[in-house]
Amino acid sequence: MSGRPLDGVTVVSLEQAVAAPFATRQLADLGARVIKVERPGAGDFARAYDETVHGLSSYFVWLNRSKESLTLDLKAPAGREILTELLSGADVFVQNLAPGATARLGLAADDLTERFPRLVVCEISGFGADGPWADRKAYDLLVQAETGLMSLTGTPDTMAKVGISVADIAAGMYAYSGVLAALLQRTTSGRAPVVRVSLFEALAEWMGAPMYYTEHSGRSPRRVGSEHATISPYGPYATAGGDQLVVAVQNDREWARFCVNVLADPSVADDPRFARNSARVAHRAELNALLAARLAVLAADEAADLLDAAGIANARLRSTAEFLDHPVLAGRNRWRDVGTPGGNVRALLPPADLTGIAPRMDAVPAVGEHTDTILRLLGRDPGDIEKLRADGVV
């Protein structure tokens, strides 16, 4: 087994909530040492979003494995001094604090890169580091609203948010890839560029297809519930036993095969209402009635076999509980045990498999669990540490 790609890389993170912790957890997956700086006492407020996983929140357990927790009061000079010591030997600094918070602490990106030219500084903001909304707070739901994503999601009568923190996740992914790119740049130039990511611009990128559709058609894609706004048939249909299959016809060749093999009526393929995808979208209600009538008399397995034989992509409409027992995850051995302060949990391996390299899957830390160890490595003796704790610095 070869070493992990980021073995030897040290990441210091002033992180909270979702976006930055997601970025740094993925760096930890690749072997980086991630020192998570938390507030003394409660720590990252995301720890208490809920208490469902051995007393910790589901978000926190997902996002914070394989990290070391150091508590610091950064309003105290001694706390800022410790952080500066850490940064002097770190490779990456990630932060997603409130607008202006790091600048007030003397930790603005440009100042840090001037002092530590090899340090990759990654800042995650709501609406950008500058511009008219630089000082506005941003949370996932707000960004889903501002980008127009919610206008696309839901039923014709009711908008809905995406069921996961998609803006945070998008920003975390771009922060992660941006840090990797900056580390690569550093190897050739000796200096690291600053990485700046905003939740708004990350999700704006993901709005590319509806953006172009709206700009060049003059109309927004319609909300069609669990169907696809611009492709049909592409959505769930009930089968005889009550299970639902999602049918995904992607082009006119597949549609012709669907008519022959599933509908058992080749003539439907040539019906002007259904002959092209744009026509099928325009006549969605009639098409859905036709498909619903056919699939309602077929058991789910029988319908899936017909779809598979025709080369039509399909899926079972599963609940989250059913997803946990998904045969692909079990069959590909994707689950691992990870420790938490309250006990072990199952965790999925990272999606990117690197040949011959096992990702880190270490425990989720308790608040301040590694404070003493980190301070000792910085040269603090037990008396120093005790004074810092008595003064509320750690």
Q: 81 pairs with which residues across the strands?
A: none
pLDDT value of position 225? 86
Shared domain check, 16 and 144: yes
Domain count, the chain: 2
Q: What is the pLDDT of residues 327-377, one digit of tens each?
A: 999 999 999 999 999 999 999 999 999 999 999 999 999 999 999 999 999
The domain that contains 111 carries what CATH number?
3.40.50.10540
- pLDDT score for 208: 96
Does residue 78 lie within any of the structural domains? Answer: yes
In a domain, 219, yes or no: no
Are 187 and 72 in the same domain? Answer: yes
Do 297 and 372 fall within a single domain?
no
Q: Are 232 and 277 in contact (CB under 8 A)?
A: yes
Q: CA–CA distance from 240 to each of 151, 225, 244, 301, 380 (Å)?
A: 33, 22, 9, 10, 70
For residue 76, being part of any structural domain is answered with yes
For 70-88, write each residue's pLDDT tens digit. 999 999 999 999 999 999 9
Is residue 145 assigned to a domain?
yes
Report the pLDDT value the prediction gives residue 376, as an integer from 0 to 100: 96
Q: Which of 54, 216, 228, 370 is catalytic?
A: 228
With respect to residue 215, please indicate whether it lies within any of the assigned structural domains.
Answer: no
> What percent of the chain clears pLDDT 90, i.e. is strictly above it?
91
Best CA proximity match to 168, nearest among 205, 148, 138: 138
Same domain flag for 182 and 244: no
Report whether 190 contacts 39 (CB < 8 A). Answer: no
Active site residue 228: yes
CATH number for the domain spanning 259: value is 3.30.1540.10
> Residue 190 has what pLDDT?
86
Q: Could you say which of 284, 316, 348 is where a domain stops?
A: 316
- 87 and 38 within one domain: yes
Q: Are residues 121 and 173 in the same domain?
A: yes
Which of 264, 281, 316 terminates a domain? The answer is 316
Q: Give the neighbor-by-neighbor strand order of the sheet with 234-238.
A: 234-238, 244-248, 313-316
Same domain, 84 and 191: yes
pLDDT tens across 37-62, in order?
999 999 999 999 999 999 999 999 99
Q: Quick one: three-class SS letters along the chain?
A: CCCCCCCCCEEEEECCCCHHHHHHHHHHHCCCEEEEEECCCCCCHHHHCCCCECCECHHHHHHCCCEEEEECCCCCHHHHHHHHHHHHCCCEEEECCCCCHHHHCCCCHHHHHHHCCCCEEEEEECCCCCCCCCCCCCCHHHHHHHCCHHHHCECCCCECCCCCCHHHHHHHHHHHHHHHHHHHHHHHHCCCCCEEEEHHHHHHHHCHHHHHHHHHHCCCCCCCCCCCCCCCCEEEEECCCCCEEEEECCCHHHHHHHHHHCCCCHHHHHCCCCCCHHHHHHCHHHHHHHHHHHHCCCCHHHHHHHHHHCCCEEEECCCHHHHHCCHHHHHCCCEEEECCCCCCEEEECCCCCECCECCCCCCCCCCCCCHHHHHHHCCCCHHHHHHHHHCCCC
Give yes or no: residues 306 and 383 share one domain. no
Together in a domain, 50 and 195: yes
In the predicted structure, residue 2 carries a pLDDT above the cut 80: no
Residue 182, domain member (yes or no):
yes
Read off the pLDDT of each residue in 174-183 and give the average, rounded to a whole number.
98
User: Is 216 a member of any domain?
Assistant: no
Do 48 and 187 lie in one domain? The reply is: yes
Question: Final residue of a domain: which of 316, 340, 365?
Answer: 316
Q: Do residues 85 and 174 share a domain?
A: yes
Q: Tell whether 154 and 273 lie within a shared domain.
A: no
Q: Is residue 124 part of a domain?
A: yes
Segments forming the whole domain that contains residue 304: 234-316
101-160 residue pLDDT tens: 888 998 999 999 999 999 999 999 999 999 999 999 899 999 999 999 999 999 999 999
